[in-house]
Structure 1
Amino acid sequence: MVIRVNTAYVIDNLIKDHDVILESLKVLYKIVNNDNSDARDLEFLIRFFDAFIDKCHHAKEEYILFPSLNLRLFPFEGSPVYVMVTEHGIARYLIRISEELLRMWIDNKDEGARQALIDHLKLLADHLTQHIKKENDVLFPGSLALDTLESSRTIEDIENETGHEKWVMEINELKKKYGIT
């Protein structure tokens, strides 16, 4: 079944996700710039990055927005979507290596792994910040050339599957803990 959805509605939803992601990065920077990083909070953020950013936000882009852009605006190869999907893969890798480094730090009390984790999380934060800017400033405005998008999935389905609202609430709680308004 093909579902048609208003492009502006999708873009608005994705930009709101970007706002939540940028807020989570403020928390991340606060934690990693502290000599006594809280492993539990870093573990939570890594789970957030995997569930909210990759499995929810990127899924909405990759299932709903990007296919219509490729089929109706421009071919995939060399396109802005090609760049965005490539960058999603980079983020996915940085999340995975951060999971591994966190385990090494917690399980083995490996301070080298702790420092490598912090370095990789900073890389991830910088990468996501630049990626979001490209999407907000270039890809999303250009996407509005299409009035509607076609997909087999809805935003609501993806958000329900991934616990979107729970993650937003938990990030807000972590922001309070670290005094971020």
Structure 2
Amino acid sequence: MNAIQILVKEHDSILQMIDVTQSILNERDVSKINMNHVEKIIDFVKNFADKYHHLKEEDVLFVEMEKHGMPHQGGPIGVMLNEHDEGRKYIKNATQAVEIFKSGDTLIYDQIKDNLLNYCTLLTNHIYKENNILYPMAERLLPANVKSEMSNNFKKANTSTVDNEYHDKYLKMVEELSTLYNI
């Protein structure tokens, strides 16, 4: 599997978790929402989507694209980086709201829901742009030897932050929640 295929495959897992998130948040009765599942989603987003996946984009793919003439600001890379930051803000706000919710203030649930739904919309559109615009650009822009080296650099980047057990934990989490919510 080449570097771009790895990123697309990870997008599939992220989109599956987005479907789970939307399914959970469609429940109108707050008392029926399993907040442990919401916390698992936030954990997945922070650690798999951001720390594991975005790391490869930001530290490897985007760097290589810049080296080969793609501007950092004012172009697709700048847009993707801004969207990564916007997503982090939604997740930070949702995390804070979950803590308040757990302390007994159930009125804050709307903030959890709004931030997570905004994140879902942002990431769905973001992934579409990456899969259909940015990644094909990278395929055309980057020489074969660079794309091959990127796969090795992905492994190095991930090894410095996570191990295979960590990766498998999050893939298993997506599958378990997908099964629970019939996704």
With the length of structure 1 as denominator, give the TM-score of the two structures.
0.89
Cα deviation for residue 155 of structure 1 reads: 2.1
Aligned to 1:41: 37
Q: Which residue of 1 aligns with 2:111?
A: 116
Which residue of 129, 138, 146 maps to 1:143? 138
Question: In the TM superposition, what are the counterparts of 1:1-181 in structure 2 within 5 Å?
Answer: 9-34=2-27, 35=29, 36-107=32-103, 109-145=104-140, 146=142, 147=144, 148-149=146-147, 154-160=153-159, 161-162=161-162, 163-180=166-183
Cα offset, 1:85, TM superposition:
0.5
Distance apart, 1:74 and its partner CA: 1.7
Give the share of equivalent positions with the same residue, in percent: 31
Residue equivalent to 1:4? none
* Separation in structure 2 between the aligned mates of residue 167 and residue 142 of structure 1, nearest angstrom: 29
**In 2, distance between residues paired with 1:138 and 1:73?**
16
Secondary structure class of the residue paired with 2:2? helix
Please state how far the C-alpha of 1:159 moved relative to its aligned partner: 3.9
Residues 66-91 of structure 1: CA distance to partner in whole angstroms, max 9, x if unpaired? Answer: 00101113221211101101100001
My pick for the range that moved more, 43-52 or 159-168, is 159-168
Give how far 1:20 is off.
0.3
Q: Which runs of 5+ in 2 are unaligned?
A: none
Backbone CA RMSD of aligned residues: 1.6
Which is richer in strand? Answer: 1
Offset, 1:154: 2.5
Displacement of 1:10 in angstroms is 1.0
SS at match of 2:33: coil
Within 1, Cα distance between the matches of 2:156 and 2:180? Answer: 31
Give the deviation of 1:156 after TM superposition.
Answer: 2.4
**CA shift for structure 1 position 99:** 0.5
Displacement of 1:60 in angstroms is 0.6
Pairwise CA distance, 1:37: 1.3
Q: CA deviation at 1:64?
A: 1.1
Compute the displacement of 1:178 (Å): 1.2
Residues matched between the structures, number: 171
- With 160-169 and 16-25 compared, the bigger mean Cα shift is at 160-169
